[in-house]
Structure 1
């Protein structure tokens, strides 16, 4: 497991150099078929990550946000979003990250989430059975890392919930029920978004995250991190994360997760 984690960390560090250089400006932007932006920096970072991982594991599959799936039937498949938060990147604010995860026969086993321009940089990482860790900067191998753990929140009155991309949920009866019965009881509601609310969840700064309109590349690495920090992370209906996942519910404790999830089915 350590070799996979080391490879992911090395790939994230290499991509961070590309992204930081590009963040200074002057990059080209175009619009994809789904109306989302993509830059030449996204593409260069993904190529850098893929080259790094392919050199170490030539038999592994690769599923990238910008160039699609290669060898999807391999036992090991890397899931990569080189810049999760391209809209933020394009507008010049640092709410974006590099997401690298490894899936083994359908199970997520390694996750690295690197926010290269968020302050001095911030990297969270985890591997199955090895706990979740945080370090400042983008080179986790060279930096001192501290272990992170989710909070112990179980009751709504002590819960801070962050919600993201709820457009699809907003018109559904289950969200109306949730808004009426749960939200008034919570300590705090926020919308930190993207990598940040999962970093905060893994390090006990908030207690739960509810999100829709996502894909697996946005959350695969973050799911490994939250789980290794002691949290629960599934689809809204309780299903396990797959390549087709489009929503997520994550919580610090099983009891809090169960309480929230009952209101969403």
Structure 2
């Protein structure tokens, strides 16, 4: 995989991290690997050895290169989360897709500087794709080389392609809000996990709305989508926060239209 020379040090490093994770995850994908349900009474929430080993591999590379940086990861928790630079890791986002053999799972890696996401990567190693966003812009790096990422302009929600992982993630008022947004849109796609955000950055999808997300679920998405020309907010139209409600759009005009409904269910 050829890394564009214009990329900054951290952008180049984040691509290295996705490669380190891919070396671990790919041998497990579509294998006879088992999984453990960590959800308990809250519902099915699988984790695999691919999740654990990939995060361990990413942390090892970070510690070797930037030992003063902090890390927040889904599998192994927080290590100096209040330092100037903090890496936020979701080694396998979309574990359900992973264990079902669907190539829609991703590795999410974000870098926060003083609490703000500044570099991000959405990687799908089975498809050999890494969507990167940061100071040098947005890039899709794949076996065919690299090219810029750009969201597409769209004036009205009626013309939009929208996505969410599963309407079951929404609670009562949230589900009502999503249903209204979906009814207004041209087309809705489900089950794509974080790959939907990659497609938004690449100008294929126009809006993604989700709820119940943790910091490792969305930190990597923000720089990628912003570098491509889009925006990521909570359901109040503000900077993403602990509410877990995320709205990503390629064009601010449909953000405002969707928020008319989503704000009524905002936390």
Q: Is the TM-score greater than 0.5?
A: yes
CA contact (8 A) 1:216 1:241 kept: no
- State the Cα deviation string for residues 3-51 of structure 1 (Å, max 9, x = none): 1111211011011011111225243422225541111121111111001
- Count of matched residue positions in the alignment of Structure 1 and Structure 2: 254
Give the aligned partner of residue 199 of structure 1: 198
Give the aligned partner of residue 210 of structure 1: 209
For residues 64 and 254 of structure 1, do their structure 2 counterparts lie closer, same or farther at Cα, with a shift above 3 Å needed?
Answer: same
Give the aligned partner of residue 140 of structure 1: none
For residues 116 and 92 of structure 1, do their structure 2 counterparts lie closer, same or farther at Cα, with a shift above 3 Å needed?
Answer: same
- 3-state SS of paired residue (1:264): helix
- State the Cα deviation string for residues 33-90 of structure 1 (Å, max 9, x = none): 5541111121111111001111111011101111100111111110001111112222
Give the aligned partner of residue 3 of structure 2: none
Greater than 6 Å deviation, 4+ residue runs = none
1:83 aligns with 2:92: yes
In the aligned structure 2, how far is the partner of 1:54 from the partner of 1:73?
16
CA contact (8 A) 2:89 2:110 kept: yes
- Given candidates 236, 242, 254, the residue that maps to 2:252 is 254
- 3-state SS of paired residue (1:145): strand
In the aligned structure 2, how far is the partner of 1:27 from the partner of 1:214?
26
For residues 245 and 136 of structure 1, do their structure 2 counterparts lie closer, same or farther at Cα, with a shift above 3 Å needed?
Answer: farther
| Structure-to-structure mapping, 1:152-191, within 5 angstroms | 152-167=153-168, 169-172=170-173, 175-176=175-176, 179-180=179-180, 182-191=181-190
For residues 156 and 30 of structure 1, do their structure 2 counterparts lie closer, same or farther at Cα, with a shift above 3 Å needed?
Answer: closer
CA contact (8 A) 2:122 2:195 kept: no
CA RMSD of aligned residues (A): 2.0
In the aligned structure 2, how far is the partner of 1:198 from the partner of 1:152?
16
- 3-state SS of paired residue (1:123): strand
Gaps of 5+ in 1: 138-142
CA contact (8 A) 1:76 1:105 kept: yes
